[in-house]
Structure 1
Amino acid sequence: MGAGVTVRRANRRRGEVEAVIDGERRILCLTLGALAELETAFRAESLADLAGRFSEGKLKADDLIRIIGAGLRGGGNRFSDEEVAEMAIDGGVGATAALVRDLLTATFLDEEGTRPER
């Protein structure tokens, strides 16, 4: 980064996570719009239904692409899922799964790692 360039850091209180994707530090966030996108993609009846599906831990590679794509778009990055599928995440497949886990945790769990009371 050159002089005078400000790099925005992830804000966990807002559900943001940070990852190096294709060699660039990016912010991901599952905003309400991103969650609505995922509800449609996963045919979920509600946010609770969506969270329940994710908590099962049975995600396919295509699911990871959708979640990362929605998180990137929610974080202000404009990439299609097709573009996300071609991106490299530092650390490979294990890091990709960890990124999705961190993003879902930041979205659905509170700071103590528990689901907030509904």
Structure 2
Amino acid sequence: MANSHRGEIEAELDGKRFRLCLTLGALAELEHAFGEDDMLGVVERFEAGRITARDTIRILGAGLRGAGYDITDDVVSAMRVDGGAAGYVEIVAALLTATFGAAQMETPAGEGASDPAGKPPQPPLSAPEHKTAPATT
């Protein structure tokens, strides 16, 4: 089961459930793959709202390897998902949102990402708002 507090998601690829997680090592892999100097560069790349098929393969592969699977990008490129290209984008959006937070990452259409099961993303954890009790007279 995926632990959302650790940035993990679950997704169905080739008819099987997989856990994906962009660990620090997976993020370093993406920095290198995309020629970025830091994680902010990776975030900015996707905030621009454009994603290529090659980007999708690299992100899914890094997420699978980050979750402990011994899998190559060539194997990832042959995996199928429900929903075709949109299905891949939904998984990538959910993974990036789980990693960087909903406030930073949005889908290419500009709407908040949802996980592959169609549930809306959970807001980032924050301190509870302190409310003052109404004054009594």
| Bin of the TM-score, shorter chain as denominator length | 0.7 to 0.9
Q: Partner residue of 1:76?
A: 68
More helix by share: 1
1:88 aligns with 2:99: no
2:5 counterpart of 1:13: yes
Q: 1:91 is matched by which residue type in structure 2?
A: G
**1:3 is matched with which residue?**
none
How many residue pairs get aligned? The number is 106
Q: Could you say if the C-alpha distance between residues 98 and 113 of structure 1 is closer, same or farther in structure 2, counting changes exceeding 3 Å?
A: farther
* 1:4-30 Cα distance to aligned partner (Å, 9 max, x none): xxxxx1111100010111111100000
Contact 1:20 1:26 in 2 (8 A): yes
For structure 2, the 5+ residue unaligned runs are 103-121, 126-137
Secondary structure of the 1:57 match is coil
Match of 1:112 among 105, 114, 123: 123
Shift in Å, 1:113: 5.0
The aligned amino acid for 2:27 is: L
Unaligned runs of at least 5 residues, structure 1: 1-8
Which 4+ residue blocks in structure 1 deviate beyond 6 angstroms? none
Inter-partner Cα distance in structure 1 for 2:65 and 2:83: 21
Amino acid at match of 2:86: G
- Superposed CA deviations along residues 75-98 of structure 1, whole A, max 9, x for unmatched, are 111110011000112332111100
Decide which moves more: 74-83 or 30-39.
74-83
* Bigger Rg over Cα: 2
Identity of paired residues, percent? 49
CA shift for structure 1 position 56: 0.9
Q: For CA contacts below 8 A with separation 6 or more, give which structure has more relative contact order.
A: 1
**Pairwise CA RMSD:** 1.5
